[in-house]
Amino acid sequence: MATTTALKGLDRVKDVYRNRDKRAKELKSQGKKIVGYYCCYPILEMMTALDLVPYRILGDPNEPIVQSDRCLPTIVCPFVRSTLDLGMKGKYDFLDGFASCHSCDSFDLCHEIWPQYVKIPFFTNLWVPHNDHAPSIEFFLACLKKFQDSLEKYVGRQITPRQMAGAIKLHNEHRSLMRGIYALRKEEPPLISGSELQEVIIAAMSLPVQEGNELLKEVRSDVTKRANRIESRPRVLLWGVEIDDSSFVKILEDAGANIVMDDTCIGSRHYWSDVELTSDPMLGIAKRYLVDILCPRTFREHAGTYQGDLEHRFRYIKEYCREYKAAGVILATMRYCDCHAYDAPLVSDYLKESGIPVLYLEHDYFLAGSAPIKNRVQAFVEMIAQ
Amino acid sequence: MTEKTLETPRQVPPLNATIQAGEMTKKMYKRIHERAKAGEPVVWASACNADTTQAILQAMGMVVTYPENYSALLAVKKVAIPYLDVCTSDGYSSLICGYAQTTLGYGRLVKEQGGVPPNSPLGGMPKPMAMVGATQGCDARFKWLQSQSRYQNVPVYCIDGSSVPSDLTFSTTNPMALKLVKYLTDEWKELVRFLEKNTGKKMNLDDLDAVVDNVLQVRRAWWECYELRKAIPCPMSSKEMWPCITPGWWMANEKESVIFYQNLKKELQERVSKGIGAIPNEKYRLLWAELPPWHSLNVPTYFEKFGAVCVVESDIYYPQPPPPIPDTCHDPYEKLAWNLFWAWSRLNEKAQKESGSHMVQQYLEWGRDYYCDGAILHFLVSCHPMTFPLAHTREVLLKYAHIPSLVIEGDIIDERMYTEARMKMQAESFAETLESHKKIRQREGWPVAHRTTL
């Protein structure tokens, strides 16, 4: 795919981050089909295999909501309201398709609302079970087939095994490259800041996977070679929801923290597991998407006791803290996000019992009223620095 | 808000069923405590649409207790707020489900005090041996019981079988439909394995078959009552039906529940034959979407003062027309699965052409079938999935049926979200809206129940 920019690495990240839809519109003018998707669950490999360009739907916490109040109450997920508002304002008019998914209640209901208010030629929906045990995997395979059929019908051809294998390889490479950049934050001080990494992620989600892979290689090269070092500060892991703007992470950094790792929707959850190369690629895809993505929306088989269940469900966060030497964890949930709101006190219980300090913030997605957040983070950072 | 401030005197005697429903609730809790005391296994369960979980739990002899029902009871008795405060003081957001907040608060008190808190209405909820959540309806229904293990420290199971997406229409032959039915039956069989492991009780399929048949009879009898409410004037208002969901939702395994709705049907038939309405001078007919304010079930009375009666309500509780279960289906799990699939998908074909959403389509169909002049859209601070479609509902009702809506903001449990003065003001101005829209609808040839002077 020809690109008209000479920018590379972190410069290209900044350019793409500020003008997310620019490359997508260029590709569209070259005849490519762009398919917007919500959340971590729509199968990117299927889209890539059909030469569709997956484009993650994000909101804008700096843009006041005006239009979507017509069709969504204000007391629902603000991220979803923001994305629909952008759609109704025409900001997603370049999309040829929209792939929603049943990840949580809000995203699920979007598959009903979006077609009513946003003009996009093609809509599809991936039904995702909430359990991850054998019957759910079996059912998910049927859901995957339905999803694939809908994409193939739209494009007018079927995915060949070779195309699927190629797409899986590309996306696995992409995730591996991103994990490589994450690893740069294990250093003290981290070689790349949390807010910079957030921009890298968002830029990568705005490009076709092949271009994303090249970009990540350039970013790694830039970061490892640059002379300026990030200031050494208390190291913090960020847990939470859809953080689709680096400004939120910047607020935490301005308050004195280095965000060295995350467990968020537009973060490690999207990158931490690969599709295993199984004889039937659907099995590998089903396992990766349903079982391996660690999101509160999925119910993991209960361990029988409360403590056992906490260990079973959240041990990986403790391991992240150990691996990335995080001195504390910020739990950042969004108002009206049920899945995270129920888990936050439990994650807090678990981490505190493990000796890891925790700060729980509930924010409303928009950045206008961020001063109280900054104050609380400052106090938290001072505490963990002692 | 107090009942004393609501001025309209009731001229139509209450239905016997509404009184009986209250008695059945008390009896249900009495039995729960007796059986728990006798050592039978107690299971806390999320409600599931179409009574699926309930059928399996009841057939296995579990003492089923529903935190959702108990929360509503606490709200009706206006004693829920302290539990909400305990919940939020223990780290939970004040925006999670009101039912969840109440029972998480209850759970915390039980843990602190080593037992059921004193003065708990109806003796409280006995300690469970296990808990069963469900993904049907909303995420809260499994997340909340998963969270409740913080206080109960017992095994938790989650039944999946999420709401059917609107692109799957009801079919007994579509391969995806067959996959869904199989998935649902597999999930319930896993539930049975979980219960067998954690309680020692075994499932008897004949018992399950009997319970499933009873459930289907209950739902049919209940649905027949809904059909009679299409009559003009409407014989039963929403505020009378809400208490009457108890037999259908919490006791659908009981023969007594079949008889309850059959008796209610007789009462309604008598009213219909005599032209007796729920209110004396019915002038406007309203639908209520979605969940009721349990702390203030008399809210519809504000609208009755100007002749508006809520004739139908709450899609999530609606018993649905009898499901077309395939004749070849004899397995009780499959009967339940077809029932559930039917409940969630039967309007999808119409929804694809009109509203895009099964729930919203239900409101539109009700608007037409019940000759509604307006809709009350109850936006709930703590129930996001039931609130999410309501703004779109307002658009759809206006577009396809020229039915105006009034949005009232409140909550299922937290009465602090209501102010009586605002409610009165909203009701009064809505009366004018109803009248003007009715004239338009009449002039344009839309069906109306009561003609107005043009």
Full DSSP string of B220-289: HHHHHHHHHTTSSS-SS-HHHHGGGGHHHHH-TT-HHHHHHHHHHHHHHHHHHHHT--SSTT--EEEEEE
- Residue B4: the pLDDT is 39
Instruction: Taking residues B163-178, report their average pLDDT.
Output: 89
Contacts of A73 in chain B (CB under 8 A): 379, 387-388, 390-391
Give, in order, the Cα–Cα distances in Å from B260 to each of B19, B23, B221, B223, B254: 11, 11, 9, 12, 10
Give, in order, the Cα–Cα distances in Å from A200 to each of A85, A215, A299: 25, 9, 30
Instruction: Taking residues B404-409, report their average pLDDT.
Output: 95
pLDDT in tens, B265-297: 999 999 999 999 999 999 999 999 999 999 999
Measured between CA atoms, the residue of chain A closest to residue B189 is A135
Give me the phi and psi of A356, to 5 degrees please: -105, 120
- Cα separation, A115 vs A36, in Å, equals 13
Measured between CA atoms, the residue of chain B closest to residue A343 is B147
B362 touches chain A (CB under 8 A): no
B409 touches chain A (CB under 8 A): yes
pLDDT-derived band of residue B2, with 50, 70 and 90 as boundaries? very low
Angle at which helices A78-88 and A105-117 pack, to 10 degrees? 10
Out of A116, A296, A335, name the one closest to residue B95 (CB): A335
Position B132 pLDDT exceeds 60: yes
| Side-chain-side CA neighbours of residue A302 (13 Å) | 25
- Measured in angstroms, the CA of A310 and the nearest CA of chain B are apart by 9
Measured between CA atoms, the residue of chain B closest to residue A364 is B95
- Residue B207: the pLDDT is 96
What tokens were used for A132?
């991850």
Fill in the DSSP letter of residue B322: P
Cross-chain residue pair B160–A77, CB shorter than 8 Å: no
- Cα separation, B143 vs B276, in Å, equals 45
- Residue A3: the pLDDT is 57
Size of interface A-B (CB pairs under 8 A): 163
Count, residues in chain B = 454
More confident residue, A108 or B354: B354
Region of A129 please: left (phi>0), alpha (psi -120 to 50) or beta.
Answer: beta
ipTM of the complex: 0.95
- Measured in angstroms, the CA of B234 and the nearest CA of chain A are apart by 30
- Measured in angstroms, the CA of B318 and the nearest CA of chain A are apart by 20
Position A263 pLDDT exceeds 50: yes
| DSSP string for B354-389 | TTSSHHHHHHHHHHHHTT-SEEEEEEETT-HHHHTT
Count, residues in chain A = 386
Residue pair A102/A127 in contact (Cβ under 8 Å)? The answer is: yes
Window B:289-348, CB contacts with A under 8 Å = none
- Residue B6: the pLDDT is 46
Cross-chain residue pair A125–B93, CB shorter than 8 Å: no
Measured between CA atoms, the residue of chain B closest to residue A124 is B167
Out of A115, A138, A346, name the one closest to residue B150 (CB): A346
A38 touches chain B (CB under 8 A): no
Measured between CA atoms, the residue of chain A closest to residue B355 is A116
In chain A, where the domains are located: 10-155
Measured between CA atoms, the residue of chain A closest to residue B156 is A302
Give, in order, the Cα–Cα distances in Å from B77 to each of A260, B215, B421: 50, 29, 22
Fill in the DSSP letter of residue B257: H
Position B49 pLDDT exceeds 60: no
Cross-chain residue pair A342–B180, CB shorter than 8 Å: no
> 10 Å Cβ neighbour count for A25?
13
| Distance from the first to the final alpha carbon of chain A | 52
Measured between CA atoms, the residue of chain B closest to residue A115 is B356
What tokens were used for B293?
């304010």
- Residue B3: the pLDDT is 40
- Residue B1: the pLDDT is 39
- Residue B416: the pLDDT is 94
- Cα separation, B229 vs B416, in Å, equals 32
Cross-chain residue pair B176–A138, CB shorter than 8 Å: no
Instruction: Taking residues A154-169, report their average pLDDT.
Output: 97
- Measured in angstroms, the CA of B339 and the nearest CA of chain A are apart by 19
- Cα separation, B417 vs B275, in Å, equals 37
Cis peptide before A189 (omega within 30 of 0): yes
Residue pair B401/B367 in contact (Cβ under 8 Å)? The answer is: yes
Out of B139, B144, B357, name the one closest to residue A105 (CB): B139
- Measured in angstroms, the CA of A43 and the nearest CA of chain B are apart by 18
Fill in the DSSP letter of residue B402: -
- Residue B164: the pLDDT is 79
Residue pair A217/A200 in contact (Cβ under 8 Å)? The answer is: no
- Residue A1: the pLDDT is 55
Instruction: Taking residues A348-373, report their average pLDDT.
Output: 93
The single-letter code of the amino acid at B161 is G
> 10 Å Cβ neighbour count for A155?
18
pLDDT in tens, A296-330: 999 999 998 999 999 999 999 999 999 999 999 99
Residue pair B243/B77 in contact (Cβ under 8 Å)? The answer is: no
Distance of CA B221 to the CA centre of its chain: 16
In chain B, where the domains are located: 3-443
Give, in order, the Cα–Cα distances in Å from B447 to each of B188, B338, B433: 44, 34, 17
Measured between CA atoms, the residue of chain A closest to residue B155 is A304
Measured between CA atoms, the residue of chain B closest to residue A101 is B165
Measured between CA atoms, the residue of chain A closest to residue B175 is A142
Residue pair A186/A325 in contact (Cβ under 8 Å)? The answer is: yes
pLDDT-derived band of residue B446, with 50, 70 and 90 as boundaries? confident
> 10 Å Cβ neighbour count for A59?
23
Cross-chain residue pair A336–B379, CB shorter than 8 Å: no
Instruction: Taking residues B313-338, report their average pLDDT.
Output: 92
> 10 Å Cβ neighbour count for A21?
17
Position B25 pLDDT exceeds 90: yes
pLDDT in tens, A215-235: 999 999 999 999 888 999 999
Which top CATH class is A10-155?
Answer: alpha beta
Give, in order, the Cα–Cα distances in Å from B36 to each of A114, B32, B124: 48, 6, 12
A312 touches chain B (CB under 8 A): no
Cross-chain residue pair B182–A139, CB shorter than 8 Å: yes
A156 touches chain B (CB under 8 A): no
Cross-chain residue pair B149–A343, CB shorter than 8 Å: no
- Residue B51: the pLDDT is 61
What tokens were used for B33?
């405590």
Residue pair B231/B267 in contact (Cβ under 8 Å)? The answer is: no
- Cα separation, A92 vs B309, in Å, equals 43
Window B:127-156, CB contacts with A under 8 Å = 133, 135, 138-140, 142-144, 146-147, 149-150, 153, 155-156
- Residue B10: the pLDDT is 57
Percent of chain B with pLDDT over 70: 96
More confident residue, A151 or A278: A151
Cross-chain residue pair A349–B150, CB shorter than 8 Å: yes
- Cα separation, B233 vs B281, in Å, equals 9
| Side-chain-side CA neighbours of residue B417 (13 Å) | 24
Distance of CA A59 to the CA centre of its chain: 12
Measured between CA atoms, the residue of chain A closest to residue B101 is A342
Cross-chain residue pair B391–A115, CB shorter than 8 Å: no
Position B20 pLDDT exceeds 50: yes
- Residue B423: the pLDDT is 84
- Residue A188: the pLDDT is 95
- Cα separation, A370 vs A253, in Å, equals 13
What tokens were used for A160?
């060949």
Q: What dihedral do alpha carbons A273, A146, A337, A288 form, nearest 10°?
A: -10
Position B134 pLDDT exceeds 80: yes
Out of A69, A76, A344, name the one closest to residue B387 (CB): A76
Residue pair B143/B320 in contact (Cβ under 8 Å)? The answer is: no
Alpha helices, H only, A273-370: 281-286, 306-323, 338-353
Percent of chain A with pLDDT over 70: 99
Window B:87-126, CB contacts with A under 8 Å = 90-93, 95-97, 100
B165 touches chain A (CB under 8 A): yes
A322 touches chain B (CB under 8 A): no
The chain-wide mean pLDDT, for chain A, equals: 96
Cross-chain residue pair A73–B138, CB shorter than 8 Å: no
Cross-chain residue pair B147–A346, CB shorter than 8 Å: yes
Strands (E), chain A: 33-37, 52-56, 97-101, 122-126, 235-240, 258-263, 328-334, 358-363
Residue tagged 């295999």 (tokens)? A49
Fill in the DSSP letter of residue B321: S
B18 touches chain A (CB under 8 A): no
B44 touches chain A (CB under 8 A): no
- Measured in angstroms, the CA of B114 and the nearest CA of chain A are apart by 17
Cross-chain residue pair B158–A142, CB shorter than 8 Å: no
pLDDT in tens, A53-75: 999 999 999 999 999 999 999 99
Residue tagged 């843009």 (tokens)? A63
Cross-chain residue pair A113–B356, CB shorter than 8 Å: yes
| Bridge partners of residue B97, in order along the sequence | none
Cross-chain residue pair B143–A348, CB shorter than 8 Å: no
